[in-house]
Amino acid sequence: MTTAQFEKETSKRGEWVRQANRFTERITADGSSGWRAEPGRYRLVVCLACPWAHRSIIVRGLLGLTDAISLAVVDPIRDEKGWRFTLDEGGRDPVLGIEYLSQAYLRTDPDFSGRVTVPCIVDVESGKVVTNDYPRITLDLSTEWREFHKPGAPDLYPEARRAEIDEVVEPIFRNVNNGVYRCGFASSQEAYDEAFTALFGELDRLSERLSGQRYLVGDTITEADIRLFTTLVRFDAVYHGHFKCNRHKLTELPVLWAYARDLYQTPGFGETVDFDHIKRHYYATHDAINPTRIVPQGPDLSGWDEPHGRERVGQ
């Protein structure tokens, strides 16, 4: 985040306020939204460093939608023009034919002047953004794309559990997923202290909840676990130091550390984590809080493959 973007999204009392999602149309099974779920029609654009995009990568893979929805990966370093397709030959996405994701945003809304965000889903034929509504994207992949799920795909948003999942993820979003950003981008001591207290208070509550059950809701992995995982897996690598979330490291919170390793070692999770992209993005992009753009060598990440013992919890 550039200094100008940082200042634009900071309130008068020093609180960081997340930009609202600009494109919120939905892709539905019956096409009643104007966008029908059809294999090959859409391209999911992500950054491997972004926790919000990471959710969609995990869900897409777990549900077996990799052939139905193609994937575009942007460079982890975002410049003044936004997300770039420099990882592709010629610096251009081979399907959408664009160099910057901002081109798809402006094709959709020529007057768009906000921050270009990932994940987003782009209609391949028109080149327009259908949605960058990251909370809804993963839920719709679970519910509206069901016809194209692989045999035996997990039900990540089971109907009987949806109310409980929604209730659990609301404070996780407010205090943890978004909470680490509220710590990192706070521009007053008061705003930082408030976000810091809420973050670790929530992590304490989650530790207590997970001390007696393997997953957040029920006895299988759900959307709630995926949403928490993408923040936890970045915690020690970037949030602890870069965002000043330093009461404890994840590795110093026994329950959450074991829980995070359990998910990391589950097929569909660990192989989607790119710590190089994660560290380079946060430390080399947020010049408002790291003007030197030096990327630290640590922490030691070898512990992610250590036994977690979570299979015995709740039995």
Architecture of domain 159-312: Up-down Bundle (1.20)
Give the residue ranges of the annotated binding site: 83, 115-118
Give the closest residue to 220 by CA, choosing from 170, 156, 293: 156
Q: Where are the alpha helices (DSSP H) in the chain?
A: 3-8, 51-62, 101-108, 134-143, 162-171, 179-184, 189-210, 223-234, 240-242, 254-264, 275-285
In this prediction, residue 251 carries a pLDDT of 98
Name the catalytic one among 181, 215, 259, 283: 181
Parse the chain into domains and list their residue ranges.
Answer: 3-148, 159-312
pLDDT higher than 90, residue 315: no
Report the alpha-carbon distance of residue 24 to residue 133 in Å, rounded: 5
Give the residue ranges of the annotated binding site for glutathione: 83, 115-118
Known active-site residue 245: no
- When the pLDDT of each residue in the chain is averaged and rounded to a whole number, the result is 95
Name the catalytic one among 42, 47, 50, 283: 50
Report the alpha-carbon distance of residue 16 to residue 30 in Å, rounded: 38
Q: Do 159-312 and 3-148 fall under one CATH topology? A: no
Report the alpha-carbon distance of residue 227 to residue 230 in Å, rounded: 6
Helix (H) or strand (E) run with residue 42 in it: strand 42-46
Report the alpha-carbon distance of residue 239 to residue 296 in Å, rounded: 12
Instruction: Give tens-digit pLDDT for 6-46.
Output: 445 566 689 989 899 989 999 999 999 999 999 999 999 99
Known active-site residue 120: no
Give pTM, 2 decimals: 0.95
Instruction: Give tens-digit pLDDT for 125-180.
Output: 999 999 999 999 999 999 999 999 999 999 999 999 999 999 999 999 999 999 99
Cis geometry, peptide bond prior to residue 119 (ω within 30 degrees of 0): yes
pLDDT higher than 50, residue 261: yes
Instruction: Give tens-digit pLDDT for 63-96.
Output: 999 999 999 999 999 988 899 999 999 999 999 9
Q: At what angle do helices 223-234 and 162-171 cross, to 10 degrees?
A: 20
Joined together, the tokens standing for residue 300 give: 């030691």
Please tell me whether residue 274 adopts helix, strand or coil conformation.
coil
Give the closest residue to 198 by CA, choosing from 226, 224, 173: 173
Question: What is the CB-side half-sphere exposure of residue 82 using CA atoms within 13 A?
Answer: 17
- CATH code of the region 3-148: 3.40.30.10
Determine the number of helices (DSSP H) and then strands (DSSP E) in the chain. 11, 4
Report the alpha-carbon distance of residue 203 to residue 208 in Å, rounded: 9
